[in-house]
Amino acid sequence: MESYRALITSATPPSDVMADTEGMHLEISGPGEPEIICSLPVSCPADNRELIRRHIEIPADLIGMLDAAARRDAERRREIEQLRRELEAKGGRPAKDYSAECAMKCAEPSFMRFLIERHDLAQPATEKTTATRVRSVLAIASRSALNIDPAAAAHWREMVREFEAWRRRV
């Protein structure tokens, strides 16, 4: 997508469209005299001429629509996550299976490095020692508490946010 975006933004749009008995001609402004970059014969169908004439405008519009859709999707995902957290805070079931998420994080080398740097995890770190350290930091006996105890779930979410912020900086 980024290569398409770069191509569209770097292309020179037509500055003028001329027509004569031979057909339609697209012209761009350059450092010197205007230059014809494309000539279409009279026999070229009208829809094709229009598509070629708008060869920069159409993909730019489509990229803009994709960007807008991605922003709306991100907003909706944030809203859904917020609603899940509110439901969870009111005693509803957890928004996620935090126990499973924790197990997966404990197997990630980057999460282990985070715990070594930020939460005094002893080296060499293993999946088992990482899980033990997480339980100790969160003051829980079992990862299953993350799906039962709202306070433990909140502490876990905070640890994950801290990890994500740490990872962006590293």
- Average pLDDT in the 78-103 region? 79
137-146: burial string, b at 16+ Cβ within 10 Å, e else: bbebeebebb
**Is the pLDDT score of 120 beyond 70?**
yes
**Which residues face 27 on adjacent strands?**
16, 36
What's the CA gap between 39 and 34, in Å, rounded? 14
**Is the pLDDT score of 82 beyond 90?**
no
What's the CA gap between 112 and 121, in Å, rounded? 8
pLDDT in tens, 14-59: 888 888 899 999 999 878 888 888 999 999 999 998 999 898 899 9
Ranges of each domain in the chain: 1-92, 98-169
Using an 8 Å Cβ cutoff, are 120 and 102 in contact?
no
Q: 94: cis peptide before it, omega within 30°? A: no
H-assigned helices in 90-108: 98-106
**Is the pLDDT score of 139 beyond 80?**
yes
**Is the pLDDT score of 9 beyond 70?**
yes
Closest of 76, 94, 75, 77 to residue 85, by C-alpha: 94
